[in-house]
Structure 1
Amino acid sequence: MLYYDSKIIEMVKNKMNEKTSEQAKSAIPNFLHSQFMKKSETEQKQLAKAKEDGDTVKITELETSITEIKEKYQRDAWLDDAVNRMAKQLNFGTHISKGVHPDAKGDNVTFKPNHELSSSIVGTHSVQSEYLDANGSAAALPLATFFDFQVSDGIKIRDLVLSDNSDFIDSLASNPQQAQNYHAVFKDTLQSSIDQPSSHERNKQTLWAMNPYDCSNIDDLKYIAIVPLYPSVLTFETYQRINQLRYSEENKSALENRFKKNAEQRPYVSMLNLATVKLGGTKPQNVSQLMSKQGGRNYLLPSLPPMIGRDFNFRLSKFKRSIFDNNALIYPAREAIQDIFGVMKKIKNTVDVRDTRKEAIDNVLHILFALVHSIRTTLPAGWSKDFALDMPYKYWLDPKRAALPDEQEFAIEQAKDDWHEIIINHFADWLNALLKQEFPEQASDFSQAEHKEWKREIEALKKQYEREGRGIF
């Protein structure tokens, strides 16, 4: 049931006090006038044209048609039809039956939790929506438009009905008793008061075990039939918010500015892997009012299973003296290493070639430093005691060991930086060895000069990391 607690009623009353009660009194006349203008728009334009042309026959015909439309939107006539016909043909709710199947004739439900739900549960309660959906006879949908009519900022006719606004109730009819009766019908319609909720053969049903942990015999299980309904208010809010993010003028401008040199570059939103499911076919209005507003389109966010593959995380060998002795280092850096090989195949030693080579070597170093950072931060202090690594690598990869109470000597040596040079030399040796293996015919070309170049690269990147406050040694 949709009900308003005392806080919400008070909020509505306060807002109305700020705007005066006149807006509540004029809500119905304003709605009926807006509907009349909308429904007679074509005839009004044709009448203006007929008057310009002096076509008296056409003028009489159109004036008669406009008068008939106006009579439909007189207060007493329209409200009588709304109460005695539309209210019986329209079903309101936050969760609708026809969203599951357009031919389902089960009841709609308006969801409001009677206790606070966990923040880890996402649902209609999460969005605090101002919308309420409706479906039924298409001829009765004007009643939904009536309830959704904006009276003032943040206040709709629906709010006046549910908060029992006296000024609004008095405006329903000249007879106070009739006004109260109209209000009671409208409120009951909005609240979707259902004593015996009904399902339908087109609805889905799920048997849910009520006592799965309380019995040892399957025959003792007790079940309840759950009928899932479509959360149309939640999906409408989702649809609106995604469209606002993707198609707002601000986002469009930010996207366009990407390719303009002098334009301000601002962050923009891209939503990948969105799917769309369309409900209602060519007539989404048969599903519900909100579904009609979004053209039957509903977004599906990606909920894809994880990509499961081989685990290629770098693993240290207990028996290797250096991380460069471990072939496992080659796999994570394979693409960058192949880039280095590709550059080395180029004969010309131009600036572009040298820059490309430097970039490829830097990529290898970035990967190496990322692996080292992972080892340094995830493994427990002192893990290197059980490994055959040379001491420079233990100083490098196990810095937390220096804080252990029995590792004073380790801490002293680790604080020195002479072991940095050993690791830098080993990196240059490792890269030269890879190049000689890849290009055996030019193995002699990878001499001391290249070795010094590789050392310069790691030293330069090491200093860059230190300047950025993420020293890797």
Structure 2
Amino acid sequence: ENWLADATRRVAQLQVVTHALKATHPDARGTSLFAPPETLPAHPAVGTHVLGDGAPRDVVGNAAALDVYKFLQTEHDGRSMLDRALAGEAAFAAALSDDPTQGQAWMEAFAGITRAGHDPASHTRAKQVYWLVGDDPTDDRGFHLLAPLYATSLAHAAFRAINEDRFSEVAKAARTARRERRYSAVESREYPKLAVQKFGGTKPQNISQLNSERRGGNYLLASLPPDWRSADVRAPLHTDSVFPLFGRRRPVRSAVNALLRFLRSEPKPNVATRRHRDELLAELTDALLVFAAELSALPPGWSAHADCRLVEAECLWLDPDRAAEDAEFAMRRAQVDWPREVRERFAAWLNAQLQGPLPVADPERRFWAERLEVEMDELEETLPHV
């Protein structure tokens, strides 16, 4: 009884939502919405309304109060406590307390977890679109202000479905059958040019509960014109390392110069300095992972070409699909600690870019390598094939 009384007080710190605001910006303080699929119009476009029963629910608010939501997720006879609270079941109220008035009040408090604690409001850090509803675009009164929210329930359902198609044992067996030209009762599904957007950085729980379960990963499906042709990506032949090629990219040069200018300004050793340094370094590590993804998309086995002179660690890193066709390569890829060597080579390359203007040495080199290790580990957790 004591816990229930405390839980009904703390439940106000949480909100169950299907459309979350903080995915737009973690500091946004506006309204998130709970709009279950059955309450939405059934239009032909893909949206939250297609999820039907069992749509995943997200939670935003104080993470310290999540034990209350865990209680509301508890099921009895196939229905959760939250569903019973939302339905206003007399039996649920009676189970909460022998005092009918108290039980009804507690049930209503739990049901309030789906409602925002204030009047609907947007925020300066939220997305906002002025939409013309009148006839005169020069009349400010002829616009509605729209505030799009992130469809977190739909995003989570899509994330689970895509992971099932990519990483489940059934999906792996279907891809093997296709590669070996054998019949499969299950179709093999592919998602070309799939990207991952990370929400929340190192603290994905600050965005929402489902975002935390995905470790911040949110899939972005390619949305390109049918006749789109990306620039040809060529295999890095006639060189012993890809890092000089990587360093010649314009965004990479810009990021290195920005890091150099910042460090040469002798910033104060405080949290703001470390945060800005990490942001600049993240630009470089993100660019490196994109660069690696482009080379990994080349036809498998390019690293076996006679003109490929890359060190072994870079071949193992950048030509992962060769392992499916080359048993010896697969064995080396499993046994050699190539991620460590790649990180060390990146750190040595970055030190070389900064040396001269800055007195960088082994401590800095170790730090660059450690930051890349964090990025590679986070990516591997989201995309197990990397």
The TM-score with structure 2 as length reference comes to: 0.54
Over 3 Å counting, the alpha-carbon distance change for 1:224 and 1:265 in structure 2 is closer
Match status 1:271 vs 2:191: yes
- The superposition leaves residues 138-196 of structure 1 with CA deviations (integer Å, 9 ceiling, x where unpaired) of 1011222222223344x222211111222221111232211111011111222x15672
The equivalent residue for 1:189 is 113
Conservation of the 8 A alpha-carbon contact between 2:199 and 2:207: yes
Letter of the structure 2 residue corresponding to residue 230 of structure 1 = Y
For 1:103, which of 27, 36, 42 is the aligned residue? 27
Over 3 Å counting, the alpha-carbon distance change for 1:148 and 1:298 in structure 2 is same
For 1:204, which of 117, 122, 127 is the aligned residue? 127
CA apart distance, 1:126: 1.9
CA apart distance, 1:308: 6.2
Over 3 Å counting, the alpha-carbon distance change for 1:150 and 1:253 in structure 2 is farther
Pairing of 1:55-74 with structure 2 (within 5 A): none
Stretches of structure 2 lacking an aligned partner (at least 5 in a row): 230-386
Q: Aligned equivalents of 1:160 and 1:78: distance in 2?
A: 19
Match status 1:286 vs 2:206: yes
Conservation of the 8 A alpha-carbon contact between 2:15 and 2:116: no
- The superposition leaves residues 373-396 of structure 1 with CA deviations (integer Å, 9 ceiling, x where unpaired) of xxxxxxxxxxxxxxxxxxxxxxxx
Conservation of the 8 A alpha-carbon contact between 2:197 and 2:220: yes
Q: Aligned equivalents of 1:163 and 1:90: distance in 2?
A: 19
For 1:299, which of 210, 214, 219 is the aligned residue? 219
Provide the identity percentage. Answer: 35
The equivalent residue for 2:58 is 133
Conservation of the 8 A alpha-carbon contact between 1:135 and 1:141: no
For 1:165, which of 89, 111, 115 is the aligned residue? 89
Letter of the structure 2 residue corresponding to residue 144 of structure 1 = Y
CA apart distance, 1:307: 2.0
Over 3 Å counting, the alpha-carbon distance change for 1:256 and 1:219 in structure 2 is closer
Conservation of the 8 A alpha-carbon contact between 2:23 and 2:150: yes
The secondary structure found in structure 1 opposite 2:15 is: strand
The equivalent residue for 2:161 is 241
Over 3 Å counting, the alpha-carbon distance change for 1:115 and 1:141 in structure 2 is closer
Over 3 Å counting, the alpha-carbon distance change for 1:219 and 1:259 in structure 2 is closer
Pairing of 1:31-430 with structure 2 (within 5 A): 76-84=1-9, 86-111=10-35, 117=41, 119-128=43-52, 129-153=54-78, 155-190=79-114, 192=115, 196-211=119-134, 214-215=135-136, 218-219=138-139, 222-258=142-178, 265-266=184-185, 267-307=187-227
- The superposition leaves residues 347-370 of structure 1 with CA deviations (integer Å, 9 ceiling, x where unpaired) of xxxxxxxxxxxxxxxxxxxxxxxx
Q: Aligned equivalents of 2:30 and 2:224: distance in 1?
A: 32
Q: How many residues align?
A: 227
Conservation of the 8 A alpha-carbon contact between 2:12 and 2:112: no
- The superposition leaves residues 298-337 of structure 1 with CA deviations (integer Å, 9 ceiling, x where unpaired) of 111110123269xxxxxxxxxxxxxxxxxxxxxxxxxxxx
Superposition RMSD on alpha carbons, in Å? 2.6
The equivalent residue for 2:363 is none
Over 3 Å counting, the alpha-carbon distance change for 1:308 and 1:246 in structure 2 is closer
- The superposition leaves residues 373-421 of structure 1 with CA deviations (integer Å, 9 ceiling, x where unpaired) of xxxxxxxxxxxxxxxxxxxxxxxxxxxxxxxxxxxxxxxxxxxxxxxxx
Q: Aligned equivalents of 1:237 and 1:281: distance in 2?
A: 21
Over 3 Å counting, the alpha-carbon distance change for 1:178 and 1:220 in structure 2 is closer
Letter of the structure 2 residue corresponding to residue 178 of structure 1 = Q
Q: Aligned equivalents of 2:139 and 2:44: distance in 1?
A: 33
Q: Aligned equivalents of 1:274 and 1:204: distance in 2?
A: 24
Query: Which structure's CA Rg is the greater one?
Result: 1
Conservation of the 8 A alpha-carbon contact between 2:55 and 2:157: no
Q: Aligned equivalents of 2:140 and 2:21: distance in 1?
A: 32
Q: Aligned equivalents of 1:116 and 1:233: distance in 2?
A: 13
Conservation of the 8 A alpha-carbon contact between 2:37 and 2:50: no
Over 3 Å counting, the alpha-carbon distance change for 1:278 and 1:77 in structure 2 is same
Letter of the structure 2 residue corresponding to residue 277 of structure 1 = Q
CA apart distance, 1:116: 6.9
Q: Aligned equivalents of 1:80 and 1:242: distance in 2?
A: 41
The TM-score with structure 1 as length reference comes to: 0.44
